[in-house]
Amino acid sequence: MVPHPEGTRPSAGEILLVEDDESLGSILAAVLQDQGYRVALASNGKEAIDYLFTGQRPGLILLNLVMPAMNGWKFHEQIKQVPELAEIPVIVLSGVGNLQRKAAALGADESFAKPYNLKVLVDMVRQYCPPHGVGGADDLVSQRPGP
């Protein structure tokens, strides 16, 4: 059982991006920053869990499925055990075969196959999590959660 996160609170305009491809994660974070989002980066599910249990509660999680340490399936299984985290929308971003079927079985809200159209992805992100406003350097929280 996953421990209960202390002091979680929803953060409009904040996204947790769980992606093991550093280049892709950086590009997507920059695009989202330009759209007015704050982005926390995690390179696997374990880092993402650690981040969520610091009390952070993003408005949306963008989740890759195939990653080292803890994959997206295991990560999603863990957060579904905590009601405050289970209600955070999840968009799966992956190159796995039969993605729509696998994302639906996972319980994800949406899925995008890699490579994906950034404009369409950003439009979908906006439907689940409105941005802070005009993007800028102060709007980006780009970090790799603790060790």
The burial of 90, by beta-carbon neighbours within 10 Å (0-12 exposed, 13-18 middle, 19 or more buried), is given as buried
User: What average pLDDT does this structure show over 69-77?
Assistant: 91
Region 46-56: what's the mean pLDDT? 92
Cβ proximity of 53 and 76 under 8 Å = no
Given a cut of 80, is residue 48 above it in pLDDT?
Answer: yes
Name the band, by pLDDT with cuts 50, 70 and 90, for residue 11: low
Whether the per-residue pLDDT at 55 is higher than 70: the answer is yes
- Element (H or E) spanning 38, and its range? strand 38-42
pLDDT category of residue 24 using cuts at 50, 70 and 90: very high
Burial label for 69, CB within 10 Å (0-12, 13-18, 19+), is middle
Q: 45-52 vs 72-79: helix axis angle to the nearest 10?
A: 20
**Model-level pTM?**
0.82
Averaged over 81-92, what is the pLDDT? 93
Q: Specify which residues 94 forms β-bridges with.
A: 113
- Token pair of 136, please? 């800028």
